[in-house]
Structure 1
């Protein structure tokens, strides 16, 4: 399948020879790319694809979704940043031999019953209304900026094992009506408590999400950590992949670490020369060793490249 227009030919043999020598089998308007799937089951290696520099990516997206038998809306494509349907190889500086990463983002599971979904939403909204609400509050957190966050021991204990341990038995926290919080910023701590009450994490700032992973790990909130991981997985790019790989290792974010490593492997030539790679991984020999071990099979001298497929 050819997504672009046929290669231009010329009556002038010299011009034709020059064009052929530039790309080997196509014109200077052609780029050969490789699709690197992450989180998608494939059978065998995908061959390289041949694409015109000014062909819109939406043609490529349709072709790949058909090849994988996956709805196009469930696929995300990345080069250095997320690729958009109305962009083309020329817009993003895609060159011969470059790799496009494609990841699957499954649609959110639908509730089996609309009545159950409505009842659950009403319950969550009612509990959520207690967040930062002094009504029936039996514990208050004094944050580092001097502000007070009123809360409820029953709600916190039912949702968080660390709070449950703090408020039960003979621990001194069980007798206190106020607790000082100095190790985390007010914004981060409030976000965590808000999640406990609402079961939702509506945050887009990457720096805040990284801090939420730290506090979620400390307070044993695996569900919050999982939401943060999913947010970050969709934002992995050349600039932040080393940081996310390192951060996920420290705070045991297995899914985020897996996706960050796969992204680094797929773009190792570009990432290895960046200041972010040196800053975030040069002091982590264990992580560098992981990368080297995973790279070894990719550079097996016995591996044979398959013929390019035009799309």
Structure 2
């Protein structure tokens, strides 16, 4: 660097700042491939994105390996959109057996190549005694933390982030300047007609047409618990549902009632990840009644997988059929029972092996 002094008479001087930004994203993916033995040489998963939607990924599986690694399964992450350089990642890529147990585990430690040439030997996967494939289905799960670095030049101006959602949420949380009330279960919540009408078609109809609610500025709500209504209105104001994990089923019903499609899909996503043997029947009923086809399909698939497993253990099967959810399906939803029956037969269960009550 030259030590020559810059003359004071320099006509202009521009000031530019440079900053390097390191971003990390954690995500997980479970990928199920049916009819695996018939899969072509290269199989690609559907695309998925991170929370900020800045990166879009997919998985590539070479069913007979890449060059020089024939006889192996080669598995890689592929970056479909986002920065094409500077991406590094660490995490785990795992093969699950038919009981959901981890069989083959690979750990990535800050690699540039996101995946493995020799992820697993094909003959080990196809070995029936290994119990990895059931009904010719392969399941892979991945947990990844990606890091990407960007360096930018910028003028010395920082634009504040938009905090509109938080500020509108404060109107609701602090009951600032309300002009209407929502009454449910003996509790009364203060709210704002303009915000409710702007964000919810049902409230818009109440406050813009010649209805009682428009005259009284008071809405009597039935069929919703107070804590569920509070969460629903929080979403209307802020676009967020902080307690969705604890009330996804009830919140989905309320979101459907008030035509909040995005909240309904958020609940649907949570329920798809929350299926268990004990709640699958209840979730299936909700999905059928409230027209959520993706959740319904996921519930039926989940039930089929467990039914095929439980059929070989009649005692466990009987315990499941005695749960309240299953009793409701059998007594009140015969059409759903028919769908489950046909789906189970299609999945490969012989009716002769099925308990008579089913």
**Normalising by the residue count of structure 2, what TM-score does the alignment of the two structures yield?**
0.53
Question: Which residue pairs with 2:347 in the alignment?
Answer: 298
Q: 2: distance between equivalents of 1:178 and 1:238? A: 42
Say whether residues 1:201 and 2:191 are aligned partners: no
Match of 2:280 among 220, 227, 241: 241
Say whether residues 1:260 and 2:308 are aligned partners: no
Question: Which residue pairs with 1:45 in the alignment?
Answer: 35
Whether the 8 Å contact between 2:181 and 2:189 is mirrored in structure 1 is yes
Q: 2: distance between equivalents of 1:133 and 1:159? A: 19
Q: Which has the higher contact order (CA 8 A, sep 6+)?
A: 1
What residue ranges of structure 1 are gaps of 5+ in the alignment? 1-36, 48-62, 87-94, 108-117, 302-311
RMSD: 4.3
Structure 1 residue 120: Cα displacement: 7.1
| Deviation per residue, 1:249-270 (Å, 9 max, x gap) | 1111111111111111222234
Q: 2: distance between equivalents of 1:158 and 1:74? A: 45
Question: Which residue pairs with 1:304 in the alignment?
Answer: none
Question: Which residue pairs with 1:133 in the alignment?
Answer: 174
**Comparing 132-141 and 212-221, the one that deviates more:** 132-141
Q: 2: distance between equivalents of 1:105 and 1:227? A: 22
Whether the 8 Å contact between 1:80 and 1:238 is mirrored in structure 2 is no
Whether the 8 Å contact between 2:172 and 2:237 is mirrored in structure 1 is yes
Q: How many residues align?
A: 232
Question: Which residue pairs with 1:250 in the alignment?
Answer: 289
Change (3 A) 1:227 1:181: same
Residue 303 of structure 2: SS of its match in structure 1? Answer: helix
Residue 267 of structure 1: SS of its match in structure 2? Answer: helix
Change (3 A) 1:190 1:244: same
| Deviation per residue, 1:264-283 (Å, 9 max, x gap) | 12222345621337324212
**Normalising by the residue count of structure 1, what TM-score does the alignment of the two structures yield?**
0.60
Question: Which residue pairs with 1:279 in the alignment?
Answer: 327
Structure 1 residue 297: Cα displacement: 3.4
Match of 2:201 among 153, 161, 167: 161
Structure 1 residue 216: Cα displacement: 1.0
Q: 2: distance between equivalents of 1:233 and 1:76? A: 21
| Structure with higher helix content | 1
What residue ranges of structure 2 are gaps of 5+ in the alignment? 1-28, 38-60, 64-72, 79-90, 106-129, 145-158, 312-316, 351-358
Residue 136 of structure 1: SS of its match in structure 2? Answer: coil
Change (3 A) 1:97 1:80: closer
| Deviation per residue, 1:232-254 (Å, 9 max, x gap) | 11111222222211221111111
Question: Which residue pairs with 2:226 in the alignment?
Answer: 186
Structure 1 residue 140: Cα displacement: 1.2
Structure 1 residue 122: Cα displacement: 1.5
Whether the 8 Å contact between 2:282 and 2:326 is mirrored in structure 1 is no
| Structure with higher strand content | 2
Question: Which residue pairs with 2:87 in the alignment?
Answer: none
Residue 200 of structure 1: SS of its match in structure 2? Answer: coil
Whether the 8 Å contact between 1:101 and 1:266 is mirrored in structure 2 is no
Change (3 A) 1:279 1:205: farther
Moved over 6 A (4+): 63-66, 71-86, 103-107
Question: Which residue pairs with 2:116 in the alignment?
Answer: none
Question: Which residue pairs with 2:191 in the alignment?
Answer: 151
Q: 1: distance between equivalents of 2:97 and 2:239? A: 30
